[in-house]
Chain A
């Protein structure tokens, strides 16, 4: 249903919006992966940009070197990143809070630079990732960007559906239990390390998908697309959406993609200099993050629910 709506939308808006739509879809996937890991399983990761990079590179290499059909490359991206996530999760299972954050931070900075080390990874300029033109039967007006948007949106929809199922299952409950109180969860028979590693693996796989899709929209895979800033943006988006729930994911993704434009508009209204305008998005994002954590810590959706519940309780009494 939603997919049909998006398709209609995709046909009516111009190129830029369609591209932004694809970016939003990518961010939705990336943010949801972080919500799983941090919001549900309680493990902070500042390095999801690096995981996205792994997905992107594996997809691109699979396509370029092994000529694997496009659809399969995305699955390969998920698989490889999931394996990396399992390894990372095994290392991270003993770490808590700030130690984990710092480790993932170091990963986020260190991993993309590896591209310069190994030949097939293409170095600074990166390697191309071309998903090919849209199938001819979709008609002339179906541009490349619309094709990207379609693929990304479809992936996002499937991903969200799968993820919401997983999160309401036994595994989701295990993660939430572990996050609240590890000792109590263990007493209930939950194997903490296995649960944590599973969360990491899954989260990584999803992030890898997002990375591959991101590279699809850009056309190449290079270290410059997967900076530390990207990792921070995903975390920001997750916090803005409400890190404990999947429902608000769109909010964070939309904010992330639209903010530079809004900042531009604001800056032009108040007629400020180039310096201020180019840095306004960063400023606004940082400020928004702080305000959100202080006043809306569980995200706007949860806040709304909590308030509605309070009101209902008041009515009854």
Chain B
């Protein structure tokens, strides 16, 4: 029983990590940048969701609104920040670290702005469906309608995004712009618009991750919530485990991370919560640096 519960807890947490990982992968695939501010944008989107929930009263409406908010914010960031970055800082020794530093700066900025506008106190978003476990054979599972919602949303999102990428022309443009921007340009693809779109999608995914992370916990959140720092790190690690280039990998990586962490917490020692992601990351990078589904980049002379 405990085994089953552990797996279920792991998969739920893992789904949220997957959503965050999807956001990272989307940004990576469209602009070859790791966006550390993803967590900040997810946080902001969560606040949007909060506003929506308190004013409209419906979680089901608030979620798409938060996603839209996240998408818009992300698009704005891409248009302003990232383009300037490419213009100003793409040469010289700082080139490799410039996007990282810029997104980190943005993270701090977002956090401060959120705290300035909404204040530092805990706010609450209530889950839309109950978190009480299903009863199977007279025993209460840790699985609940809420967790089912999270899991299914993740899978649906992944399916939709994969469809978008693999089966539509837009998806083809997205993939082409990431791998060969100049040639895509020559083929008539508006590369800069595509990049913005990639970011917008990532913003939406991050929004969902942020909101679910909040309601899956105790519903409390504030600018300093440790949950969001964890979301950032876990989402990134999940993306790396899955292979930064693959959406499917992001989901698998997230689930894998979630389940392994759950096992470590419940069977070994619950205090290892913070160090476990690091160890798992190191192990993955040693055993299979390109990730589970990653393709090893060929050595170019």
Considering only residues 95-125 of chain A, those with a C-beta below 8 Å from chain B are 95, 97-99, 101-103, 105-107, 109-114, 116-117
Q: Are B94 and A297 in contact (CB under 8 A)?
A: yes
Bound state CA distance, A235 and B108, in angstroms? 12
Residue A293 interfacial (CB < 8 Å): yes
Q: Are B276 and A287 in contact (CB under 8 A)?
A: no
Total chain B interface residues with beta-carbon distance under 8 A: 55
Q: Are A293 and B116 in contact (CB under 8 A)?
A: no
Bound state CA distance, A295 and B98, in angstroms? 11
Considering only residues 102-118 of chain B, those with a C-beta below 8 Å from chain A are 102, 104-113, 115-116
Which residue of A103, A113, A228, A293 has the most chain B CB atoms within 10 A of its CB atom?
A: A293
Cross-chain contact of A91 among B94, B273, B286, B301 (Cβ < 8 A): B286
Cross-chain contact of A114 among B81, B98, B275 (Cβ < 8 A): B275
Cross-chain contact of B108 among A39, A232, A295 (Cβ < 8 A): A232
Known contacts A44-B100, A228-B229, A290-B102; is-contact A279 B112 (Cβ 8 Å): yes
Q: Are B100 and A287 in contact (CB under 8 A)?
A: no
* B86 vs chain A, min Cβ distance (A): 10
Q: Are A289 and B105 in contact (CB under 8 A)?
A: yes
* A245 vs chain B, min Cβ distance (A): 10
Residue B92 interfacial (CB < 8 Å): yes
Q: B61-69, B133-141, B232-240: which lies at the A interface? A: B232-240
Considering only residues 73-117 of chain B, those with a C-beta below 8 Å from chain A are 81, 84-85, 88-89, 92-94, 96-98, 100-102, 104-113, 115-116
Q: A56-64, A214-222, A236-244: which lies at the B interface? A: A236-244
Known contacts A113-B273, A286-B108; is-contact A244 B94 (Cβ 8 Å): yes
Residue B219 interfacial (CB < 8 Å): no
Bound state CA distance, A42 and B101, in angstroms? 13
Cross-chain contact of A282 among B93, B98, B112, B119 (Cβ < 8 A): B112
Q: Are B34 and A102 in contact (CB under 8 A)?
A: yes
Known contacts A38-B97, A279-B116; is-contact A293 B102 (Cβ 8 Å): yes
Residue A180 interfacial (CB < 8 Å): yes
Residue B120 interfacial (CB < 8 Å): yes
Q: Are B116 and A275 in contact (CB under 8 A)?
A: yes
Cross-chain contact of B81 among A46, A183, A290 (Cβ < 8 A): A290
Bound state CA distance, A109 and B230, in angstroms? 8
Residue A285 interfacial (CB < 8 Å): yes
Q: Are B88 and A295 in contact (CB under 8 A)?
A: yes
Chain B interface mostly helix, strand, loop or mixed?
helix
Q: Are B104 and A275 in contact (CB under 8 A)?
A: no
Known contacts A235-B101, A294-B89; is-contact A102 B275 (Cβ 8 Å): no
Complex: chain B residue closest to A95, CB-CB: B285
**Set of chain A residues within 8 Å of B236, measured between Cβ atoms:** 102, 105-106
Bound state CA distance, A99 and B240, in angstroms? 7
Residue A17 interfacial (CB < 8 Å): no
Residue A9 interfacial (CB < 8 Å): no
Residue A310 interfacial (CB < 8 Å): no
Bound state CA distance, A116 and B81, in angstroms? 40
Complex: chain B residue closest to A283, CB-CB: B112
Bound state CA distance, A65 and B113, in angstroms? 45
* B105 vs chain A, min Cβ distance (A): 3
**Set of chain B residues within 8 Å of A244, measured between Cβ atoms:** 93-94
* A76 vs chain B, min Cβ distance (A): 23
Which residues in B have some Cβ–Cβ distance to A below 8 Å? 28, 34, 36, 81, 84-85, 88-89, 92-94, 96-98, 100-102, 104-113, 115-116, 119-120, 229-230, 232-233, 236-237, 240, 244, 269, 271-279, 281-282, 285-286, 289, 301
Which residues in A have some Cβ–Cβ distance to B below 8 Å? 38-39, 42, 44, 46, 91, 94-95, 97-99, 101-103, 105-107, 109-114, 116-117, 179-180, 183, 228, 232, 235-236, 239, 243-244, 275-276, 278-283, 285-290, 293-295, 297-298
